[in-house]
Amino acid sequence: MPVDTTDGVGFGVGDETQLILDSLDEFLEQEVEPLLDDLGDVDTNPRTGHHENGRLTDEVLEAREQIRRRSADAGFYAMNLPEAVGGEDVSPVTWYRAKKHLASHGPGLSRYVLAGPEGPKPLLLQAAGDQIERYLEPTVRGEKSTAFAQTEPSVGSDSPNMETVGRKDGDEWVLNGRKQWITNAPYADFVQLFARTTPQEEAGRYGGITCFLVERDEYDLGSYNNAVGAVGTQAEIVLDDVRIPQDRVLGEVDNAFYAAMAFLSLGRLELGAEAVGYSEYALEQAREYVTEREAFGQSIGNFQQVSASLARGKAKTYAADAAGLKLAWKMATDERTVMDASVFKWFATTVMWEVADAVVQVHGANGLAEENPYMDLLHQARMLRIVEGTDEIQLNTIAKELGLTE
C-alpha cells in the first residue's frame, strides 16, 4: 500500500533514485574496481601513493581524473546541478542517498564518482559570459577541477576577517594574500578565491568580499598541508601582486560571502552523508570480523563489550541517517535549514568518529595495520569534524537558532 507522505514523512527509496543507486553499483564494478586493481595499494598506502612532500603520484591523479570524466560521461558526477549546465537536476534527497551509498562502499577511489571539493558547486552557477564555457561547463564535464579558497593561516571559521585583499587598478584587480588548507589546490585548473575588496568599516562584517576565478599558473603553490585523512590533497596558495581581469569576478563584487553562505547547507549535507555511509561500511566490516574471529572458544561478537560497542554505533548511525534525510527533504522543499544542517553535520561526523574508533578497537592490532582501512577511516572522521565548520561552530549555530546566544 503506498505511503502517504503529504505530512512530510517518507523514507522509501523512489524507483528513479533506486535506479541511480543500482547504476552507481554497476559503475563501480565496471569502471572503478579495474582501476583499483591496477593501482594495488598505491591509492591507499602513503608510502607508495605520494611523493616525499605529500604530492600524489601521477598514476593516482590519472586514476582520479579518469573516474571523474567517466562519471560525468555517465551522467553521475554533477547530477545535482541543473540540466541547463549539464547536470541532471536530481533532488537533494537523491543526492544525499547517492553520496551516502558510495561512501558505504568504503574509502578509496569511489569518493571521486560524485563531485566533491574539486567539482562544481552551486556557487559556480554564478558564472556568466565567457566564464560559462571556460570554467563552469568543463568542470561539470569533469574535464577541469577547481578549489574553494577561503581559509587562511590565521583565519579559519572567522572567515570575514580574511587578510587576503583585492585592489582595483583600472580594468584589473590586484590580489595579495595567502590561503591555507585548500583542498585540491595542488591539482586544480582554477580556484574560486575569496578576497576582501572593501574594508569592513565601509561594507560591514559580511560585505566587501569578492570571489575571483584564478587560474593555476597565476598563483604560487606554498607548502603541502598534509593533514591526516587528506595527505597530498591540500596546500597553501600564495598571491603576490596577482593581476586578474575584471571578467574573472564570479558573481557580484563585494557580495561573495553572502552568495557562499547561501549554499552552506549543501556542503554540510554532503559531508554528513559521507560520514553516515562510512559509518555503515565500518560497522559491516566489524560485524563480519567479530562473527568470524574467535577467542576463548567463541566468536568475540558474543562478548557483551564488543557487541554493545557495535550496537551503539548502529543505533547512532541509524539516527544520523534519519537526520540527513530530514535535512535533504527540507532543502528540497526550500525550507530554512540553518539549524538542521548544523545538527546533521555535527551529529553525523561525531557518530562516524565514535564508530571508527570502536571498529579499530574491536579489530585489535589488525585495526592498526596500514593494509586495513580502519585507521584511515578514523583519520577521515577526525578531519570531517573540522571541515565545513568545526564541531564548535555547529554547536554555536544551533545555540543561536535556539535563541540562547547572539
Say if residues 137 and 86 touch (Cβ distance below 8 Å): yes
Catalytic residue, chosen from 388, 392, 401, 406, is: 388
CA distances from 239 to 103, 213, 275 (A): 35, 13, 34
Classify residue 266 as exposed, middle or buried by CB count within 10 Å of its CB (0-12, 13-18, 19+).
buried
Residue 388: active-site member = yes
Query: Which DSSP category does 55 fall into?
Result: P
Backbone angles phi, psi at 140, to 5 degrees: -65, -35
Q: What three-state secondary structure class fits 352?
A: helix
Q: Which residues of 279-309 are buried (b: 16+ CB within 10 A; e: fewer)?
A: bbbbbebbbebbeeeeeeeeebbeeeebbeb
Per DSSP, helices labelled H in 112-198 are 130-131, 137-140
* Single-letter amino acid, residue 397: T
Q: Comparing C-alpha atoms, which of 29, 59, 54 is closest to residue 42?
A: 59
Q: What three-state secondary structure class fits 154?
A: coil
Q: Which three cell numbers stand for residue 212?
A: 575571483
Catalytically active residues, by annotation: 388
